[in-house]
Structure 1
Amino acid sequence: MLEPPTSSRPAGAGIEVRGLRKRFGTTTALDGVDLTVAPGTVCGLLGPNGAGKTTLIRILATLSPPDGGHARVAGHDVVASAAQVRGRIALTGQYASVDELISGRENLEMFARLHRIRGAAVRRRAEELLERFGLQEAGRRPVRTYSGGMRRRLDLAAGLVVPPSVFFLDEPTTGLDPQSRYGLWDSVRELVRAGTTVLLTTQYLDEADHLADRIAVLGAPEGTGGRVIAEGTPSALKSSLGREYLDLTVRHHAGLTAAAEALARTGAGTVEVRAELRRVTLATGPASGPGTQVLADALHELRSADVQVEDLTLRRPTLDEVFISLTAAPARAREAA
């Protein structure tokens, strides 16, 4: 169980951001960010490097003051009521912030005492968290002997000594192997089921796709600073791209050119060749018609050209493709200006 002996987590504790601005010298990091995260949900915060993701997290966690606008976290203003905000949040950054010289159990007991947990409840809470995150056997070992995945799990456990109303996860699975990543995903899902609101930044878009109820994409539409350039559910963002993809793998490299020419003759969109994968991709355009018709036309052209096909798939865009489309558009606009 992730609940503390006595939980002070208030109901309806989400995140509200309006017109948030932040400058560092002549650099505009945030330029009027608006964002709402409903209580008990996961919001994935995406954006290229320099878009302002970490700056936004630091402001919401009361680690950096904004230059304009306002924000409320767990029902409290991050400037006027910073102490109340700090008492209701947890933050896990890109690197584990635990003490490597002491054991995992001692780390958790230390955090428990910092949260004013006393007596036998300290050891009991540490044991609960070690069990929850699969660290019981390693609990007495110095943290310096832990693997990267174990350190990240311990770092997450430390943030849950008293379950927060709002949890900020800033690229929490960077450098982890797939098994460790999936384990952390399960922990985040359990935390949200218990009512915690999560704001997640990540470079792994499949992570946001699996965990996030909604996604906000930060970008710099005018090249001046971070703004929310797109927001919605993962499904809605994929649909907004207005296209589908036909992925074709040929049996032999020699068939790549004929396959690309056959797909181009459908007139349904643009064709991309990935020779190293023996793959040709047709990205349909908004006026290409239903995907089933595109597929039928493609099969006709491929048969006419006698292309030997190993695999053929019609699919929706991935979140990676949506992200690239959204974040590349401002750069193209600046180059054309």
Structure 2
Amino acid sequence: MTHQRSYVGRHRRPDVRRTRAAGLAAATAVAASLTVIPVVVPVAAADTAGCSAINDGAYQCTVYSAAMNRDIPVIVRPALTAGNNKVAQFIDGADSTDVNAWTTAGGALQELANEDATLVFPAMDRFTWVQDWAGDEAKQFETFMAEELPQYLEDTWSVPNGGRGTTGVTGLSSGAYGAMNLAANHPDLYSSVYALSGLYDPGMPVQRMVIDGTSMFNNDFEGIPWSDEGDRAENNPTLNISNLTMPVIVSASSGIPNFAGDMGPDPIATVVKGGPFETGSLVFTAEFQARAALAGRTNIEFKYDLIGAHAWDTWRHSAFEQGNMHQFIANIGGGVT
């Protein structure tokens, strides 16, 4: 927000011969000359049932999912101006909790305080990869993100058309795959994508092992998201890259930890786990870049950092210090490139 100085015009001493009416007119002119500095705050809808104000203009909400027959915690920061149809969805990593880490470790609400868009931070179950799991009603997160959330934003927050066609989606780690897959499966909904430190081809051997292994191990060995190879192929952003016609930003780092930066609450884990995880993501991102080049997808921009582990220090640097998150939001609704 640009601040302006307030000026009060100079006036001669009132002539005692003037009438009281003239004196009142002069006082009115002085008052009118004062510059009013507007304060920009998020616009809340009249119907915020199931929500409570938290901080930074945001609300902690409970959103019912008919597909999963349960409530999902979602943080909503409404747009700064009424009638704004821009929406940004934020997807957490695989090790999620009941609070989206973009709002805690990521600091997104503070960093994006002046962005005029409805910011949406849903909480995910751990290691579900933002998928509709075959035969599991409790894990239908693609339907929730692509169908139920837009309807909720339209009904509860008066977002025009629920942001359909003017929604961006961003995610990190497993959420990067989720964001890319959502955009490839729903190009009519999403008009901007930002993926950080992800993998994008669940059909490749190593990436297959990562998704299948974490899905099994962290979901009581109840299976993987897909019922067969055809279902897996339908949820492969690399195979469906022709659908990614919107602006896309993809970032990854080398895996070398930034020892001079924020090593997080567990520096040893940042080095021992975060380093190799990010190096793997670097390889997966390079593979996706090669496929994008073969497909002629010039709208997909790749950004690499020499320093950075699989940790929030890396993601905050890419998102906010390098300006990629602001560019991602600016791209929302920008059309095909």
TM-score, normalising length from structure 1?
A: 0.23
- Larger relative contact order, structure 1 or 2 (CA cutoff 8 Å, min sep 6): 1
TM-score with structure 2 length normalisation? 0.23
